[in-house]
Amino acid sequence: MERGRGRWVSSVSRGMLPLLGLHTVIEYSRLERKPPVTAALLAANTIIYLRPTFLHPILPTINQVWFNPHLILKYKDLRRFFLSAFYHLNEPHLFYNMLSLLWKGIQLETSMGSAEFSLTVATLVAMSQGVTILLAKSLLLLFDYERPYYQEYSVGFSGVLFAMKVILNAQSDEYTYVQGLLVPTRYAAWAELILIQMFVPGVSFLGHLGGILAGLLFLRLKALYSGANPLRTIVRGLNHALNWPLRFVKFLLGSQPRIGGRGSVGGRETRDTSQVWRCQTCTFDNSGWLSVCEMCGTGRTDDGPSSSSLSSTDEVQDLSLDELRRRRIQRFGR
């Protein structure tokens, strides 16, 4: 995040934005799978900075969304709390933040998956902003630091980027260079916080510190919470519900024996069998991660994936096509 009020101007040079776009295209062209959430975040931050004319009626100005702990707490201004992370003071501010987001976003989204990554970003925005407010309020109450921190104005995505850096480097045992200084990778965010504060004027110390602490808190909560992520379950449920009509139409109209893209009924295809198991009721080949048959809902009876059953039709029950369709419809309708 960068500090300052009244320093932002709308008529800025846009010479760096084409370079950002070119770099993004090159990086994405190298990827087999293009992370959509990272691309959406890059586009959102850039569009907000450019402020196209057709968005003027609905897009607040930067003066309306400055992150200011005093104003947020006094007026309970959630617009400042959330939107300030997506505004940038000038072109270099946007350029370097988006380059960092491109690199970190690709890694995290590829490893997490798009649904979990989007939830992680939303969580980190709220946590980094919240921790920053808590730090500013604590400094006011304990040391009477009102002007330096509690009344500070700042904007930018760098608090979230510091949190992402903490998450990426948490388990690393390697070393990395930070501005020419060799440090353990897991402590790179702390080294960058100190060096930026020393050599880059106008940055928000509390905003960056809040991001680091938010990343540590996120990792701590994730380690303590051993169950399935409820938000992830909700997203997957919505995705399953939205894709159900397409899967149902493909099932009714498809002429190939393969169903759902992960198995076949009575099929003999040659493929990696270490991650599939065959249902004893309908002969559907299911993913090894499933405990019930995706075709008919029958529970898994064997002790693990079986490769021999895939090439044999012994003990296959004779089920009519209508019966298989009925069970498939009943399974999807749950």
Tokens of 246: 């397409």
In this structure, the number of other CB atoms found within 10 A of the CB of residue 218 comes to 20
Q: Is the dihedral of CA 57, 58, 63, 64 positive or negative?
A: positive
Say how far apart CA 157 and CA 95 lie, in whole Å. 11
Catalytic residue among 128, 154, 204, 208: 208
Tokens of 277: 């198991």
Tokens of 49: 């900075």
208 is catalytic: yes
Say how far apart CA 68 and CA 82 lie, in whole Å. 11
13 is catalytic: no
Report residue 303: phi and psi, to 5°: -90, -5
Whether 331 contacts 295, CB under 8 Å? yes
SS3 60: coil
Q: What number of CA atoms fall less than 13 Å from residue 334's CA on the CB side? A: 9
In this structure, the number of other CB atoms found within 10 A of the CB of residue 239 comes to 12
Catalytic residue among 84, 128, 158, 204: 158
Residues annotated as part of the active site? 158, 208
